[in-house]
Structure 1
Amino acid sequence: MVISKENASAIKKAQAAGIKFVVSTGRGYTEVKPLVKEAGFNCPMITLNGAQVFDEAGKLITSAPLHDQLTSKIIHFLKKQKLYFEIVASKGIYSDNKAKRIENFAELLTRVSPDTPYKLAVIMASARLELMNINYIEDYNELVEDKHTSIFKIVTFSNEGHKVLDPIRKELEQFKSIIVTSSSSSNIEINHVNAQKGAALQAYADNLNVPLDNVMAIGDNNNDLSMLRIAGVSYAMGNAITEVKQVAKRLTSSNTENGVGHAIDEVLKEE
């Protein structure tokens, strides 16, 4: 996964015009930073759906981890449902099943690039995971008990999508102090209620004394809704889910057609 030259060019053009560009993602800092560096620019980052916010120098500004007791309850609940899930913590991504990890990454690759055969995606996923900092662990409760580890996000998966995950999501939403979102139809992402892209974006804008009317947000999935709702200028990607397209004020092209770059260029021309 890379940031296209067209998108990177538009981002750099915005930065040259004095606009603060911020990456806002469900991924962790160590996953995203190499992509940004390779694209040739630097910026603050809202990561893990808002659970961690970093400045341009990579210094942690704010964090919103899940509490230990709550995390234990979620782990117990997901295990009871016999669902595979992963944990994103202060020391990286944790999985208790390597085969499932590869399967899920391969499924992601086929969604991003539909022309990729699944068998090839599995090979690519296996090779990619060897380069990523994935930690394999037998019992997730070891993380909860480690006082030197903070847990920021739990992600559970099902290739059956909404059929399996929607009922699970409804039950999870009964838990106090969490927010349940998703970044695809095949996952559920669980964060502390204070870890939301919208809240993180608003706090960052407030710190710069920038009114939300002058804030632009671009998104394509459920975990983007909170920031799209507060931004004065909001774009849905062409490949966005229906709810995102309903909430956003504008529409750009898809993620495979440099939609981010097109949206930025469109707004720059209006200035």
Structure 2
Amino acid sequence: MIKLIASDMDGTLLNEKMQISAENIKAIKYAQKKGVEFLIATGRSKLESAKLLANAGIKVGYINLNGAMLYNTEGHLVFEQDIPTEKSKEIIKILNESGYYFEIVSADNVYSNSKLERITNVSNLLVDLNQNLDFKHAVPLSSGSEQIMGISFVDNYSNLLNLPNFKVMKFLAFKPDGATFDQVSKKLLQLGDLVITSSSNTNIEINHKNAQKGIALMHYAKMKGISTNQVMAIGDNLNDKSMIERAGVSVAMGNAVDEIKALAKHITLKNTEDGVAHAIYEFLGDN
């Protein structure tokens, strides 16, 4: 019997319009009516992910920033894991030397040093996550929607680290066309205590090794007295890998990358076909 469901957002719960469909909302409410807790598990911040659910009329918990922050359904922070300041300085040095555009993510904000790079790279990410979307139509979404809200533009990332009580929760780096992250990832991992994942083919996401969706999900389940085989995880990309590996019922989206499809025990429909709702009804029909 499923008692806890964790779903990724981008490429999973969100459709090509970066919205939660009416069918997915209906399915989540159906699950909650049956006593199932629902967690949003995303690389996004709490502020950003909550905005996307503002009109859904559902109350959920959040695994944010790939597991760096965990909130219960009452909105209380129950776990956080930042990247220490000195380690963050080393990461900035390596990323600057790589020449890749990157952003710093705190608990409630994203910091960028270029509005043009931000819009361009988020547009590329949206195209990569949504097969029915082209770059021309992705640009308005990335520049005029919630994607650009909550962004602070700064001249120098290093100055952020000197601010009192400033915590880096995640780094997000984007690659130009034709480039790979192999070399820079190798250098970053040599720093120790880091994990590198991605939410699309266009980026890498750098967290503390203890900040992973799967770790946060199992922490929440244990806190609630829920066993592993009563946990369902739904995702599409590599930053979902840790929860797909740990959940008793693991579901890959129809649009998931091959590695996630191979790991998951089940495959549902695409994010543009209400795949989350399909999975919920499939596994909770007799719950």
Q: Identify if the C-alpha distance between structure 1 residues 260 and 181 changes in structure 2 by more than 3 Å, giving closer, same or farther.
A: same
State the 1:129 CA deviation. Answer: 6.1
Q: Answer yes or no: is the 8 Å Cα contact 1:91–1:149 preserved in 2.
A: no
Report sequence identity in percent: 41
Q: Identify if the C-alpha distance between structure 1 residues 91 and 8 changes in structure 2 by more than 3 Å, giving closer, same or farther.
A: closer
CA distance in 1, matches of 2:275, 2:207: 27
Q: Answer yes or no: is the 8 Å Cα contact 2:129–2:200 preserved in 1.
A: no
CA distance in 2, matches of 1:118, 1:148: 38
State the 1:130 CA deviation. Answer: 8.4
Q: Answer yes or no: is the 8 Å Cα contact 1:179–1:193 preserved in 2.
A: yes
- Which of 238, 241, 246 aligns to 2:257? It is 241
Q: Identify if the C-alpha distance between structure 1 residues 126 and 36 changes in structure 2 by more than 3 Å, giving closer, same or farther.
A: closer
**Structure 2 unmatched ranges of 5 or more:** 1-17
CA distance in 2, matches of 1:203, 1:124: 34
Q: Output aligned runs, 1:72-221, within 5 Å.
A: 72-128=89-145, 132-160=149-177, 163-221=179-237
Bigger proportion of residues as helix: 1
CA distance in 2, matches of 1:188, 1:110: 16
**Corresponding residue for residue 252 of structure 1:** 268
CA-to-aligned-CA distance 1:160-218 (integer Å, 9 cap, x gap): 36x42233223222221111111101100000111000110000000011110111111
Q: Output aligned runs, 1:16-31, within 5 Å.
A: 16-31=33-48
- Which of 40, 45, 54 aligns to 1:37? It is 54
Tell me, yes or no, if structure 1 residue 262 matches structure 2 residue 284: no
TM-score of the pair, normalised by structure 1? 0.95
The range that moved more, 165-174 or 25-34, is 165-174
Higher relative contact order (CA 8 A, sep 6+): 2
CA distance in 1, matches of 2:264, 2:155: 42
State the 1:223 CA deviation. Answer: 0.7
- Which of 45, 55, 61 aligns to 2:72? It is 55
Matching residue's letter, 2:55: E
CA distance in 1, matches of 2:234, 2:76: 24
Matching residue's letter, 1:192: H
CA distance in 1, matches of 2:197, 2:174: 12
State the 1:40 CA deviation. Answer: 1.4
Q: Answer yes or no: is the 8 Å Cα contact 2:102–2:173 preserved in 1.
A: yes
Matching residue's letter, 2:28: I
State the 1:35 CA deviation. Answer: 1.6
- SS of 1:2's partner is coil
Q: Answer yes or no: is the 8 Å Cα contact 2:47–2:108 preserved in 1.
A: no
Q: Answer yes or no: is the 8 Å Cα contact 1:4–1:39 preserved in 2.
A: no
CA distance in 2, matches of 1:136, 1:63: 25
Report the count of equivalent residues. 270
Q: Identify if the C-alpha distance between structure 1 residues 158 and 42 changes in structure 2 by more than 3 Å, giving closer, same or farther.
A: same
Q: Answer yes or no: is the 8 Å Cα contact 1:102–1:129 preserved in 2.
A: no
Q: Identify if the C-alpha distance between structure 1 residues 259 and 118 changes in structure 2 by more than 3 Å, giving closer, same or farther.
A: same
CA distance in 1, matches of 2:83, 2:126: 29
Q: RMSD over aligned Cα, in angstroms? A: 1.6
Matching residue's letter, 1:168: V
State the 1:91 CA deviation. Answer: 4.4
